[in-house]
């Protein structure tokens, strides 16, 4: 998993509340277990019309935001089903940080597992960032995870809270497997002792 330290980039404004996971990635695209290739279907019903043509009014179809790395939205982002494809689609598009007043719990947890930083900030601050982001590439936002601040284009810093364990995992690019592998020496030692101390136990074959 790619570490998250400091991100400075274009933020796309999405002033919508209750954006559910089916809106983020419709169910018809959940046939794959691969984490790649889903970015093209991110917000599919918002980005494309019935013929598959882009809707020019949707933010991610506008030239200034086609390479946005930050998304700023309203309350209850990621509600609905628990599909992990939602953060996969965001990440595959290039979104590394989502800022909103709050998130659905399962989506919030899935973001951390996939290297996306979900930042909770008050609604009024999100509205300020949305206004900032309307300037497109002329107004970049910085998210500093180590210092736990979002820096607006005018230099104003806004502090955010984050769980210490999750912060450490993102800073070092550790997903669940990575966390487990940190204990590889202890696991190997345990297995070695088990083989020695319980040599009387028959080996279990698999397959």
15 and 74 Cβ atoms separated by less than 8 Å: yes
CATH number of the domain where residue 136 is located: 3.20.19.10
**Does residue 189 carry a pLDDT above 70?**
no
**Do residues 121 and 101 lie in contact, with contact meaning Cβ atoms separated by under 8 Å?**
yes
Instruction: Look up the domain containing 135 and give its range.
Output: 6-197
**If we measure between CA atoms, which residue out of 113, 82, 114, 116 comes closest to residue 98?**
116
Across the chain, mean pLDDT equals 90
The C-alpha atoms of residue 53 and residue 37 are separated, in whole angstroms, by: 18
Task: Measure the CA–CA gap between 110 and 51, rounded to whole angstroms.
Answer: 32
- Asked, for residue 1, whether it belongs to a domain, the answer is no
Percentage of residues in the chain having pLDDT higher than 90: 76
Q: What is the pLDDT of residues 102-134, one digit of tens each?
A: 999 999 999 999 999 999 999 999 999 999 999
What pLDDT was estimated at residue 184? 47
Q: Is residue 74 part of a domain?
A: yes
Q: How confident is the model at residue 170 (pLDDT cuts 50, 70, 90)?
A: very high
Q: Total structural domains in the chain?
A: 1
Give the pLDDT score at 22.
Answer: 96
Q: Where are the alpha helices (DSSP H) in the chain?
A: 21-24, 44-47, 85-93, 105-113, 123-133, 164-171, 176-181, 184-197
pLDDT on residue 33: 77
Q: What is the mean pLDDT of residues 67-92?
A: 96
Note the pLDDT of residue 36: 86
**pLDDT at residue 204, rounded to an integer:** 57
Strand duo 11-14 + 70-73: pairing: parallel
| pLDDT value, residue 128 | 97
Pick the more confident residue, 1 or 170.
Answer: 170
Residue 189 lies in a domain: yes
Contact 134, 116 (CB under 8 A): no
Classify residue 202: in a domain, yes or no: no
Distance between CA atoms of residues 155 and 167, nearest Å: 23
What DSSP assignment string belongs to 96-120? -EEEES-B-HHHHHHHHHTT-EEEE
> For 143-154, what is each residue's pLDDT tens digit?
999 999 999 999
pLDDT at 32: 79
Residue-wise pLDDT tens digits, 31-43: 877 778 999 999 9
pTM of the model: 0.85
Q: How many CB atoms lie within 10 A of CB 39?
A: 16
Identify whether 33 is part of a domain. Answer: yes
Between helix 85-93 and helix 105-113 the angle, nearest 10°, is 50
Asked, for residue 72, whether it belongs to a domain, the answer is: yes
CA 112 from centre of chain: 6
Report which secondary-structure segment, H or E, holds 94: none
Both tokens of residue 56?
Answer: 């020019």
Residue 58 within any structural domain of the chain: yes
User: Is position 144 within any domain?
Assistant: yes
């Amino acid at each position: 998993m790619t570490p998250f330290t400091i991100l400075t980039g274009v933020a796309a404004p999405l002033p919508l509340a209750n954006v559910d996971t089916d809106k983020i990635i419709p169910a018809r695209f959940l046939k794959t277990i691969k984490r790649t290739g889903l970015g093209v279907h991110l917000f599919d019903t918002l980005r494309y019309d019935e013929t598959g043509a882009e809707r020019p009014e949707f933010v991610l179809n506008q030239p200034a935001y086609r390479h946005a790395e930050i998304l700023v939205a309203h309350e209850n982002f990621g509600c609905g089903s628990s599909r992990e494809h939602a953060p996969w689609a965001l990440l595959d598009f290039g979104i590394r940080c989502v800022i909103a007043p709050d998130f659905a719990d399962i989506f919030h947890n899935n973001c951390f597992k996939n290297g996306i930083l979900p930042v909770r900030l008050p609604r009024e601050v999100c509205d300020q960032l949305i206004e900032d982001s309307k300037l497109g590439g002329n107004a970049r936002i910085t998210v500093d995870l180590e210092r736990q601040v979002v820096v607006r284009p005018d230099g104003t810093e806004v502090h955010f809270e984050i769980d210490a364990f999750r912060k450490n995992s993102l800073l070092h690019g550790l997903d669940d497997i990575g966390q487990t592998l940190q204990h590889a020496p202890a696991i190997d030692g345990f297995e070695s002792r088990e083989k020695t101390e319980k040599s009387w136990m028959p080996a279990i074959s698999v397959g």
